[in-house]
Amino acid sequence: MQTRTEAYPLSDTWQISELVSEMMRDIDSRPEWHDEVSRGKMFGLLIYRDKDGREGMLKAYSGQICGRSDWPGYVPAVFDYLQPDGYFKQEEAAIVALHHAGQPTRERSQALQRWLFTQTVLTGAHGERRSVLDVFTDWAASNHSKQILPPGGTGECCAPKLLHYANSHQLKVLALTEFWYGASPKGEIRHHGRQYEPCQAKCMPILPFLMEKERLEEMLDSYGNHSRSLSAEKYEGPLTVLYEDPYLIAIDKPAGLLSVPGKRNSYCAETMLREQTGAPFLKAVHRLDMDTSGVLLFAKTEEVYREMQRMFALHEDVEKEYVAKLSVGDEGRGMRGDGRGVISIPLAPDFLNRPRQRVDYENGKEAVTRYVMEGDTVHLFPLTGRTHQLRIHCAHPDGLGRPILGDPLYGDTPADRMYLHACSISFRHPVTHERVTIKSPTPKPHPDPPLGEGEAPEGKLKIKNSKCKIKPPTGSPKGEGRELIST
């Protein structure tokens, strides 16, 4: 018997992963979607509380499915421009006809895209309504961005659709997540069922308008693919020095600490070491990703710095070894046991999702890694130095097909850290010309710490009371959400 409706605290909840699984079963049950979504698509869900204190869930998919943006049970598009007799489709057909006739279409295409962004009007966190174009251009101006117009598809991803709908219906946003369904795109690394943060280029510029700042920060911090940054927390030094002479110094960099100053954070290994040693000149001659630990080398003079930079750029008389602990990989696929070989997969920046990199066989830069497998551990010897090279070469199906354990960008298995460690670097000394080898002991994985009472795993949300009745929320179109009513 239904007795009352109750507003549940977020600390007493179901896990978001359970709601994602439930939503994936709904996707599985739609045969008309199968061919399209099995090739890969982003879906999202939002947990809300209405003005009467009842909680519920909204669902969304990015873009369209089978040419439709109005499937029952999912929030509609912010602006449906796909009507056959609408301006967009008619103008699009005219542009296609001009193209086939060999006529220039660039300016007309850009004008149509601009028109679309003026027609796509978002409802903000405080009920104000503004076009995607206005929101994006304001963000670009305040952030001094060179990208002054929105990329194609801005406003059509899951997060903006869900937030716009919630704001339009005066629903308080409690939690939001997006997850990948289906196969990974050829050039990217996405894992079926894995939760991801909103994209950088299309979503992040408009999310501050759609969410209150505090809620946005909470949401981003909650993602399981967000690594813990020691740069933000202030690493409790001192840094461990592995090698030092009058010209060079090497440290054992901990995972989570930036190597050099970032755009928004100057607290890093280089800054710490300068303070620790009092050296008048100190520059990192190479870099490790924030999430990577191990040997990091610095020059003490400008001349040595320039020579080491040259040697590292040309991979001349420089040998590096990394060791990584691998996760199982999607559905148990990927290289197993012992083995050795060379991976050659060209890489390029993913401009829509920085700092991610992507596989690009047409325009990417050469990236080559030698590897030696020992069960779930792999020793990696990079022969080139591309950004995220080792991480992608492990995770991508054309490489090992097994992500590094705890990789926050390309992985499928969360851990207390990313288990990639720079265990050795060997080089010809730029002054003495002797061979120098510096080593760092490899950290061992350990089980996740037990959760305290009432805690949820990182990136997870609970909703109290699994015994609940499900019905469309008040004021919502049938099937576009659900309320959780205590029984």
Question: Which active-site residues does the annotation give?
Answer: 289
Residue 393 in contact with residue 410, Cβ under 8 Å? no
Owner of token pair 């325009």: 363
Question: What tokens does 61 get?
Answer: 């998919």
Question: What tokens does 461 get?
Answer: 């949300």
Angle in degrees, CA 419, 333, 22, rounded to 5: 90
In angstroms, the CA 161 to CA 156 distance is 6
Write out the DSSP string of 396-421: STTTTS-PBTT-TTT-SS--SS--EE
Write out the DSSP string of 231-278: HHH---SPPEEEEE-SSEEEEEEPTT--SS--SS---SHHHHHHHHH-
CA dihedral 292, 296, 302, 303 (to 10 degrees): -120
Listed residue (266, 271, 279, 265) closest to 253, CA to CA: 271
Residue 55 makes CB contacts below 8 A (sequence gap 6+) with 7, 8, 47, 48, 49, 174, 463, 483, 484
Listed residue (355, 49, 328) closest to 191, CA to CA: 328
A 10 A CB-CB count for 238 gives 12
Listed residue (103, 219, 88, 99) closest to 156, CA to CA: 88
Question: What tokens does 209 get?
Answer: 């308008």
In angstroms, the CA 382 to CA 367 distance is 8
In angstroms, the CA 257 to CA 242 distance is 17
Residue 49 makes CB contacts below 8 A (sequence gap 6+) with 7, 55, 171, 172, 174
Write out the DSSP string of 182-240: SSPPTTS---TT-EEPPPTTTTTTTHHHHS-HHHHHHHHHH-TTPPP-HHHH---SPPE
